[in-house]
A = this chain, B = another copy of it.
């Protein structure tokens, strides 16, 4: 899919492995309104520190992305390399260095060599094409098994506006190392404050529902660029309809990509939605949903296709959510397994086990104690998760 005024390219630069796409560039013909959401981890990789500083101006024109090396925990040398790599891109593109954003994903703590960037960026710039985004989606993959993109078109004041999102995923128990990256490009005309507000709300409702418990990588980031090439009426505080239309499309894209990330979680064989309803408030519901979604015992039971509701109850009990144990109901899709805090026996379990055999299902925990709700997407914890993460660097 094309987005007016944007082009992209990717190539195999040999950053960690040979003959594998590992360097990508996204470019806007004009400086775009730009905003980002960055990891809350106290240890932030050099590229993020650089990007956060540069985004103070609310503008960016290019994004240089590499996989194979996270450029995190490398001391002062990490920042030097990030700055130098962005300078190479700026020079070749003929733009101000401060308009270049950088993103890295891969192993933490390996010094990152500038040479592959110096050697590859000139050709990367020459390769820029409106059709280059699929290559970008492949170049950012690490343990991902499939590239992840999502596109939408939306009419704003009679003008067609396009949006494209590209993401890479992460190990889903604790997305530490396997970074979540997302880039959203749109040709919408939108002021900085509105774009920032839209992106923050959408990230909170989507990506923050899959990276539970504040488990964040040193490199997680979501970056949005709006270059205005569609020529729609400016979206600002006086155009709430325009903002709503764009926000709905951004939310759609973020939700789509978030689900793709979970479904492609390391070793995942099942995509599970944990829905908590009837809590006293939304915060309690979210605490309960996250604790269940993140429990290794619950996730291994999903892998084993075992309707082990006792583990769900135990996770609920230590989540900090207030509830009455004797009111709890648990459903696997529409099949009820627990009523009034007690199991419903062998026939109910058989029906629930059938649900668990599916690739996708929803666990609903009804606390029957109020109106608070929350939803979190998770995957199972499989033998392959351990295999992948025990061998990741070898």
- Which A residues are closer than 8 A to B by beta carbons? 40-44, 70, 72-75, 77, 107-111, 171, 173-174, 176-177, 214-218, 295-297, 300-301, 303-304, 306, 308-311, 313-318, 322-323, 325-326, 338, 340-343, 381-383, 385-387, 389-394
Report if A393-B177 is in contact (Cβ < 8 Å); known contacts: A342-B74, A383-B387, A386-B386: no
Q: Could you say which residues of chain B place their CB within 8 Å of the CB of A325?
A: 42-43, 73
Chain B contacts of A75 at CB under 8 A? 326, 340-342
Q: Which residues of B contact A296 (CB under 8 A)?
A: 171, 173-174, 296, 381, 385, 389
| Total copies of this chain within the assembly | 2
CB distance from A280 to the nearest CB of B (A): 13
| Residues in B neighbouring A73, C-beta threshold 8 A | 309-310, 313, 325, 338, 341-343
Check A300 against B389 for contact (C-beta < 8 Å): yes
Contact B341 A297 (CB under 8 A): no
Q: Flag if A176 contacts B311 (CB, 8 Å).
A: yes
- A215, B213: Cα distance in complex, Å: 14
List 5 A-B pairs, minimum CB-CB distance, nearest first: A108-B310, A304-B390, A43-B317, A75-B342, A300-B389
> Does A306 contact B392, Cβ atoms closer than 8 Å?
yes
Q: A351 → chain B, closest Cβ, in Å?
A: 16
Q: How far is the CA of A386 from the CA of B298 in the complex (A)?
A: 11
B390 and A303 contact, CB distance less than 8 A: yes
Given A306-B390, A306-B394: A311 in contact with B215 (beta carbons within 8 A)? no
Give the residues in chain B near A393, CB-CB below 8 Å. Answer: 306, 308
CB <8 Å contact, B390 and A42: no
Q: Identify 28 residue pairs between A and B in the complex whose beta-carbon atoms are under 8 Å apart, listed by A's number.
A: A41-B317, A41-B318, A42-B318, A43-B316, A44-B317, A70-B310, A73-B313, A73-B341, A75-B341, A107-B310, A109-B309, A109-B338, A171-B297, A174-B295, A174-B315, A177-B308, A177-B310, A215-B318, A217-B314, A296-B296, A300-B385, A300-B386, A303-B390, A306-B390, A306-B394, A383-B383, A383-B387, A385-B386
